[in-house]
Amino acid sequence: MKILCMSHGTMAQGVVQSAKMIVGDVQFLEYINAYVDQETNIDHQIKTFLKQNNNQTIIVCTDLFGGSVNNYWMKYLDSEKNLYLIAGLSLPLIIELVLKIEQKSGENINDIISSSIKNAKKSLTFCNKLDFHLTHEEF
């Protein structure tokens, strides 16, 4: 099993580094930074990653649905049967995925991904709308 974060620039690297600070140095969590130099060939980066991780289940999290990084990965969904693609890379999502995979529950990969996305969405909060008069015990 591999989780790969890939983004425009170094966002993926930052998310992975932050996740590893929180959940520990998880060996199955990796990143690829796209477009960090002019010589970068995204399709080559993807093919290399797939070749290095042949026959493994791979969850790829990209930064932006419809963005070029996500679109490159979309081309491989039909040919790579163990590839799962999520658009909307975030730290809460990666932490959810890592923790669920580490639990080695009996859930299938689709359920793990779906519940991780659902829980990650709950972390989005417009803090100005919160009632600041709550006591710490109520949090």
CA 114 – CA 100 distance, rounded (Å)? 11
Contact 29, 101 (CB under 8 A): no
pLDDT digit string, tens, across residues 68-114: 999 999 999 999 999 999 999 999 999 999 999 998 777 799 999 99
Q: For the segment 29-56, what is each residue's pLDDT rounded down to a tens digit?
A: 999 999 999 888 999 999 999 999 998 9
Number of continuous H segments (helices) and E segments (strands) in the chain: 5, 4
Q: Which CATH architecture has domain 2-138?
A: 3-Layer(aba) Sandwich (3.40)
Residue 25 pLDDT? 95
Within 10 angstroms of residue 26's Cβ, the number of other Cβ atoms is 17
Residue ranges of the domains in the chain?
2-138
